[in-house]
Amino acid sequence: MSNILHVSASCIESIHDEPATLSKPNKRWHLAFATIYCSRALYSLLKKKNMKTSKLPLSTPSFVVLNVEPHLAFSNIEHTSLTEVVKKKNLDQLREFGGVAGVADALKTDAKNGIHGDVEDIARRQEVFGSNTYPRPPAKSFFYFVLEAFKDLTILILLACATLSLGFGIKEHGLKEGWYDGGSIFVAVFLVISVSAVSNFRQNRQFEKLSKVSNNIKVEVVRDGHRQQISIFEIVVGDVVCLKIGDQVAADGLFLDGHSLQVDESSMTGESDHVEVNCHHNPFLFSGTKVADGYGQMLVTSVGMDTTWGEMMSTISRDLNEETPLQARLNKLTSSIGKVGLAVAFLVLVVLVVRYFTGNTEDENGNQEFNGGKTKANDIVNAMVRIIAAAVTIVVVAIPEGLPLAVTLTLAYSMKRMMADQAMVRKLSACETMGSATTICTDKTGTLTLNQMKVTKYWLGKEPVEDSSSIDTHVLKLIQQGVALNTTGSIYRATSGSEIEFSGSPTEKAILSWAALELDMDMEAIKQNYSILHVEAFNSEKKRSGVLMRKTADNKIQVHWKGAAEMILAMCSSYYDASGSIKSLDDGERMTFEQIIQGMAASSLRCIAFAHKQIPGEEQEISEGRQKLKEDSLTLIGLVGIKDPCRPRVRKAVEDCQYAGVNVRMITGDNVFTARAIATECGILRPDQDMNGEAVVEGEVFRNYTPEERMEKVDKIRVMARSSPFDKLLMVQCLKQKGHVVAVTGDGTNDAPALKEADIGLSMGIQGTEVAKESSDIIILDDNFSSVATVLKWGRCVYNNIQKFIQFQLTVNVAALVINFVAAVSAGEVPLTAVQLLWVNLIMDTLGALALATEQPTEELMKKPPVGRTEPLISNIMWRNLLAQALYQIAILLILQFKGESIFGVSEKVNDTLIFNTFVLCQVFNEFNARKLEKKNVFKGLHKNKLFLGIIGITIILQVVMVEFLKKFANTERLNWGQWGVCIGNAAASWPIGWVVKSIPVSEKPFLSYLMW
């Protein structure tokens, strides 16, 4: 019996002792397993006991035994505790877990080869630990934008007028006839709101999509011994992530391996000082922080919402409603025009009210509308509602609310098209600012060149080496050590027969490829024979990297350096000659090496030097203890020349920019000879341009100029070589002070200050670090300078499209205001009703914006100088065009208003329809004129813009429907063919008028120079 009790107790214990980390399905399996196990144990004990007391056969059990084994792969570690250990930087608790190695073991991760990474492994880890995503605040619904549209005061007033008109109309004429006036205003308002809401909703969705794309960062991980790039969202707990300068840490984790790793935690703590991360004192890494220096590998311990960054980011939504400078200027313009419209509407209101109460107005039957006390209260209220609706509608037409909509449409359209042209816009304002750019400061590597590097030359001593077999064995081993141990790249080969894969920066890959394929370097074997003591990682300021290593066999210590050839040469006092002998490096020899370096650079080769030094025994302990590597008395091992060919079509892109009045400057870390050769090849520098030495400078020289000298010489500089990020920033600041609008390309972490300082920061999508991308306004997805030129073209297109729409809209505004005001004052009535004006508003605001805001960039845009950022939005050319068209429309419509009935022998209702139809058709024809601000041929390229033609077609069809079929809704009368011909003829006259007007020259001084739009 005691045995049975003991088994019962152990069973109950096993049921309760289930790991806390198990998911619900696994807990159920665990419970089932324990229950079945207990049942079998109790049953077997009872069976033994019964067999002793009775020999009768027992009945067959009425249950089926299942052998259930629950998955307890990660039962050795409590995930919640591990998450807290990292968040709180608790070293003591980490030691209880067995340190980083213990955590890796518990997470089933090989510290060197990473996780297996098969589909089942990833799915299991995501099920247990979660995925590396976090919930975003819900996107704004369509109804949100409908409500936003309803908040417009003029819309609310119109709705109130429509309600009153509907009520009084039904009361006076009955439901069948009385709903037309009020109902038609309701329908028109509903159309305006719907179009506005749909447009804003679609743009919001567009920006949300772009936000998702920009958040999808590529991260390098090791899985199954293979370095590979995956999306940040695919990272799982247990992954080994590779980190280098400029990377964003993708999840919370622990430091596994690396050197000189420093992290910028300012995004989390607000502290600007960099934090050193190492195995002993601080192995903790946090999602959202940036790698400031060094390189390393981390073990992921928490992802998604379990990270500190995830908790923080889930509460933050990206502000998609940023107001660009152009939108701000347009809002000011809208406000100014709106004030004029309000004044005119108020005058019309006063005039109509006065005329009504003084008995100067007549109804449809020719009777006086107001007869003092005899007039019914209902009639007075009806008349007042009609007058207020007319005045409010004038305000609706006068306020060009289509302008901000046009900007939004243009920016959204251009953002979408720019994405297809390999440019992702992060900040809307950059689209329009790019149109004003006067200078572009570009990197060389990867932007002007292909970034497909290959070692094409190797010099040992003063002799070029054609065949690797001729290299001395000792020197060959030194080269292999210098390449294999002083690198952030890696070599991977799945099987002995498969192709070798190289990873790292393009320069690293070129050197590794050369050493592995031509020098037969075995990277793994070399790494096993040496242990690395200290590393100085490469960055764009030092332009070199070094490593201190100890040989396992004899404990000898040596230092290896690799970097820019002239910098490494300056650190050397001796060199290896072709036979492997060490020779002293005197001034004459140094001059010879400098000429070799210059010769390679003049052939557009990037020159990299290798050097080393054996540390004497008495200095070994000192070297181990200190953090700085030996930088003097080195022995030069050799020089390699790396070819990075220029991109095809880059010369044409540079010439296009120069033709458009935009200066292209190259800022590079390469030496002055390589920089000059590449700049000449790309067309940035003419062969005869650097005769006086002012077009090409070195960063250090530029830095050492006095502020006055810099300001004097900066305009002449075309190439800056051997520049540091500080030199790039200095140049940007100087150019801005000189009044330039500066666009800058950058890919490194240290480029961030220059990218932020520039008017437009352009980061590189392939080689760019996350820090550079976050500091930029536009990401060039293919790292190609041609895409920079395309962005410039799109920037100008945005500005040009908005100017076209302003001209088109203001023509309508001026014409509608003048006609209604003159007619109200002279005749006491408004020829265009509320519904008709709302229809015109819909045509010009929404359909007009769509038609003109989606014009694609043309080559003509690149033949003009840049648009100054202080130049008025409405240029003299625009004033000339819009005033000519507006005056023509006012003249023809006023003639129709006062003489139309007698000229055409028609009734007042038909005459009003003629006025309405002519006015709308004038806008349709004027839309063609607005396509070209200066060119006389407004039809050029028309066949390419299908959307424009479609909108014109839709507008004409809807206008025919309004006039011919919606008589009561639009308050119109049917027109015969002759009357339609008159309307079309009057409207078509705007084409020859536009052609003639464009021949009139305009002055340079702004037409409204005293007004600040």
Where in the sequence numbering do the catalytic residues fall? 443
How long is the chain?
Answer: 1013
- Pairing relation of β-strands 572-576 and 218-223? unpaired
C-alpha to C-alpha distance for 947 and 941, rounded to whole angstroms:
12
Order across the sheet with 663-667: list the strands: 423-425, 778-780, 760-764, 742-746, 439-442, 663-667, 719-721, 696-698
C-alpha to C-alpha distance for 296 and 314, rounded to whole angstroms:
28
CA distances from 647 to 296, 386, 403, 450, 686 (A): 33, 67, 40, 5, 18
C-alpha to C-alpha distance for 900 and 917, rounded to whole angstroms:
13
CA dihedral 411, 416, 420, 426 (to 10 degrees): 70
Contact 184, 386 (CB under 8 A): no
Beta strands in 390-429 (DSSP E): 423-425
C-alpha to C-alpha distance for 444 and 728, rounded to whole angstroms:
13
Question: How many Cα atoms sit within 13 Å of 782 on the Cβ side?
Answer: 17
Question: How many Cα atoms sit within 13 Å of 557 on the Cβ side?
Answer: 18
Cα 780–Cα 781–Cα 784 angle in degrees, nearest 5: 60
C-alpha to C-alpha distance for 194 and 149, rounded to whole angstroms:
8
Q: Quick one: how many helices (H) and strands (E) in the chain?
A: 37, 26
Residue 693 in tokens? 């030495």
Residue 59 CB partners (closer than 8 Å, separation 6+): none
By C-alpha distance, which of 467, 475, 484 is closest to 575? 475
CA distances from 1012 to 331, 337, 798, 868, 873 (A): 13, 13, 21, 15, 10
By C-alpha distance, which of 492, 497, 495 is closest to 512? 492
C-alpha to C-alpha distance for 954 and 960, rounded to whole angstroms:
10
CA distances from 783 to 412, 517, 650, 1007 (A): 23, 28, 12, 42
Three-class HEC string of 69-116: CCCCCCCCCCHHHHHHHHHCCCHHHHHHCCHHHHHHHHCCCECCCEEC
Residue 778 CB partners (closer than 8 Å, separation 6+): 418, 423, 424, 425, 426, 427, 430, 434, 760, 761, 762, 763, 791
- Measured between alpha carbons, how far apart are the two ends of the chain, in Å? 98
CA distances from 877 to 122, 379, 569, 803, 941 (A): 63, 49, 61, 10, 21
- What amino acid is encoded at 418 in this protein? M
- Pairing relation of β-strands 572-576 and 240-243? unpaired
Report the Cα 786 to chain-centroid distance in Å.
Answer: 18
Residue 193 CB partners (closer than 8 Å, separation 6+): 146, 149, 150, 155
Q: Where are the alpha helices (DSSP H) in 258-401?
A: 266-269, 308-313, 325-357, 377-398
Residue 306 in tokens? 């379990």
For the range 494-501, what are the long-range contacts, defined as Cβ-Cβ under 8 Å and sequence gap of 24 or more? 494/226, 501/226, 501/227
